[in-house]
Amino acid sequence: AITLSVARNVVGPALKQAVRFIRYPYPEKHKNKWGDDGEDGGDEAGENSDDVVDSEDEAEGPKKQVKTSGTKCAAAPESDDIGELSSEERGKLQKNAEIVYKLESIFSLRHKDRTSMASELTVLESHRFACAMYRIMLYCELFYLPVNIDDIDSMAGQPALQRIWGKRYALLSGLPTQELLEMRAVVAFLHELIAGVPDAESQPFVPSLLIYTCLATGPAVILKAYSDRKFELFEDALEPDVANLDETSIFFGGFLSRPLDSIWAERGVARPPSDGLDSAILDDVLGKNDTCAQCGVVAGLRLWSEAILEGKLNFNPIEAHLLMKMFESTCPADVVIAGIHDMKTAPFAGWRHDQSLCAACLDKLIGAHLHLWLYERKVQSDWTPTDNCRDGYDCKMQVHNDKHAADKNHLCAPTRRACT
């Protein structure tokens, strides 16, 4: 009882979902079994089997092999009767709870309260988020690619693929509509994180069918890739070259949305619009009517401030593209903005670093000072300043004359109208 109480304190009210995730008797993932009636990606372990299974939940990484003891997957429902927790299970619960809380804090920052780096979700909101996240962890682990990637291009129309889709549907269809909506909201949030992970060339990852492939790696991998800003972490978690194969769309396309669409249709529920999904998790949003400190526009969570620049600006698919290209991902956004505030020109003298700005005003602040910041950064990097070009940043010659571009400094305001 004491151990269970401690576990509840660590995990919170989503304990039964967390325990189900670590105890679920995941089936062995055979290769080259698409046409068989036996075990394939997501099939149950045989009723009388005593197979050795690789327990590889993405939150824990590859594990030692464990016995299924003939237990069918369907025999592991969410239950309040948790029983005794082993020391290994307690360790897994602790680690997974840390992952879920980190994700909750990012969700809170993006969708609940833009001024706090820690989660501001209420107890009920946190419960909804955690339950949905643990269920997604289980779903991703159970239906993660189970076969040789070379077989995917021949899957279309295969009975095995139909069975996999059916099992995805079956796993979700037992949940109430409201809890499925909560899962849908959390998946949309995970899509946001995936879309913000730059690829190997430091370009923002563009959402496409690949986003479903990345989703299948699970929340822990998504968090790690987002935090480290490394797209290759998705590739490492998948079969070789899976992220580069168009055929993966057959298996991963609509990874969770396909079964949900079937459930919505069966229940006569309208498909939830992409906007407003957060309402399934959140009862209220703090600062939703906040205004820009400079122009007064109501922008709510779309406001930018020093509290969220690192989490928002560096990973926004629009702003991040420019910043990562110019700075090669070496300088956090908060450092850039702090440096700009230290060198504000007269028109911006009254703008304080602790104020919240809308995107338009932030763009105005950056646009007016970015060349000055870059100049100072070059000087700090032991660059020897050259003579200023009289046309400064408006110089046309710098575009087509490499020697002129190298010989003159153009990170300065023009002192004459045109350079010919």
Q: pLDDT of 46-57, one tens digit each?
A: 333 333 334 344
The angle subtended at Cα 149 by Cα 146 and Cα 151, nearest 5°, is 95
- In terms of domains, do 370 and 243 share one? no
Q: Is residue 394 part of a domain?
A: no
**Mean per-residue pLDDT, 185-198:** 88
**Mean per-residue pLDDT, 103-109:** 92
- In terms of domains, do 371 and 272 share one? no
Q: Is residue 372 part of a domain?
A: yes
Report yes or no: 145 and 253 within 8 Å, Cβ to Cβ.
no
**pLDDT greater than 50 at residue 379:** yes
> Rounded to whole angstroms, how far apart are CA atoms 403 and 106?
46
**Mean per-residue pLDDT, 26-39:** 46
- In terms of domains, do 229 and 359 share one? no
Q: Residue 179: which of 218, 137, 132, 134 has the closest Cα?
A: 132
**Mean per-residue pLDDT, 287-316:** 58
- In terms of domains, do 197 and 232 share one? yes
Question: What is the predicted pLDDT for the residue at 172?
Answer: 95
Q: Is residue 31 part of a domain?
A: yes
Question: What is the predicted pLDDT for the residue at 299?
Answer: 62
Question: What is the predicted pLDDT for the residue at 276?
Answer: 80
**pLDDT greater than 50 at residue 408:** yes
The owner of tokens 């406001």 is 303
Q: Is residue 390 part of a domain?
A: no
Question: What is the predicted pLDDT for the residue at 333?
Answer: 65
User: In this structure, what token pair is assigned to residue 233?
Assistant: 């972490």
Arithmetic mean of pLDDT over the chain? 74
Q: Is residue 295 part of a domain?
A: no
User: In this structure, what token pair is assigned to residue 401?
Assistant: 């004359």
pLDDT digits (tens, 9 = 90+) for 234-246: 888 876 555 454 5
- In terms of domains, do 85 and 115 share one? yes
Sequence-distant (≥ 6) Cβ neighbours of residue 382 within 8 angstroms: none
Least confident of 129-143, 244-258, 282-296, 316-330: 316-330
Sequence-distant (≥ 6) Cβ neighbours of residue 176 within 8 angstroms: none
Question: What is the predicted pLDDT for the residue at 311?
Answer: 36
- In terms of domains, do 8 and 128 share one? yes
pLDDT digits (tens, 9 = 90+) for 155-174: 555 676 788 888 899 999 99
Residue 324 CA: distances (Å) to CA of 214, 329, 349:
22, 5, 27
* Nearest 10 degrees: Cα torsion 210, 213, 214, 219: 150
Q: Is residue 407 part of a domain?
A: no
The owner of tokens 């590739």 is 235
- In terms of domains, do 214 and 245 share one? yes
Q: Which of 224, 250, 279 is the last residue of a domain?
A: 279
**What confidence tier does 326 reach under pLDDT thresholds 50, 70, 90?**
very low
**pLDDT greater than 90 at residue 138:** yes
**What confidence tier does 359 reach under pLDDT thresholds 50, 70, 90?**
low
**Mean per-residue pLDDT, 105-110:** 90
Model-level pTM?
Answer: 0.67
- In terms of domains, do 87 and 174 share one? yes
* Nearest 10 degrees: Cα torsion 313, 315, 321, 326: 70
Question: What is the predicted pLDDT for the residue at 124?
Answer: 96
**pLDDT greater than 70 at residue 215:** yes
- In terms of domains, do 304 and 275 share one? no
**Mean per-residue pLDDT, 319-339:** 57
For residue 60, the enclosing domain spans: 2-279
Question: What is the predicted pLDDT for the residue at 307?
Answer: 47
Highest mean pLDDT among 114-128, 225-239, 291-305 belongs to: 114-128
H or E segment to which residue 370 belongs: helix 359-380
% of the chain at pLDDT higher than 70: 66
Other CB atoms within 10 A of residue 294 CB: 18
> Rounded to whole angstroms, how far apart are CA atoms 357 and 372?
20
Q: Residue 112: which of 300, 334, 307, 319 has the closest Cα?
A: 300
> Rounded to whole angstroms, how far apart are CA atoms 59 and 7?
17
Question: What is the predicted pLDDT for the residue at 352?
Answer: 84
Between 199 and 171, name the one with better pLDDT: 171
Q: Which of 279, 311, 346 is the last residue of a domain?
A: 279
Q: Is residue 292 part of a domain?
A: no
pLDDT digits (tens, 9 = 90+) for 65-101: 333 333 334 446 788 788 888 889 989 999 999 999 9
The pairing of beta strand 65-67 with beta strand 52-54:
antiparallel
Neighbouring C-alpha atoms within 13 Å toward the C-beta of 193: 31
- In terms of domains, do 105 and 173 share one? yes
**Mean per-residue pLDDT, 373-379:** 80
Question: What is the predicted pLDDT for the residue at 188?
Answer: 93
**pLDDT greater than 90 at residue 406:** no
Between 278 and 153, name the one with better pLDDT: 278
Question: What is the predicted pLDDT for the residue at 1?
Answer: 60
- In terms of domains, do 323 and 227 share one? no
Q: How many separate domains does the chain show?
A: 2
Between 341 and 296, name the one with better pLDDT: 341
**pLDDT greater than 90 at residue 28:** no
**What confidence tier does 145 reach under pLDDT thresholds 50, 70, 90?**
low
Question: What is the predicted pLDDT for the residue at 399?
Answer: 64
The owner of tokens 């010989």 is 407
Q: Residue 251: which of 30, 26, 42 has the closest Cα?
A: 42
Report yes or no: 293 and 365 within 8 Å, Cβ to Cβ.
no
3-class secondary structure, 117: coil
- In terms of domains, do 11 and 43 share one? yes
User: In this structure, what token pair is assigned to residue 186?
Assistant: 């959390």
Sequence-distant (≥ 6) Cβ neighbours of residue 314 within 8 angstroms: 229, 320, 323, 324, 332, 333
Q: Is residue 294 part of a domain?
A: no
User: In this structure, what token pair is assigned to residue 223?
Assistant: 């968090």
**What confidence tier does 42 reach under pLDDT thresholds 50, 70, 90?**
very low
Q: Which of 248, 279, 310 is the last residue of a domain?
A: 279
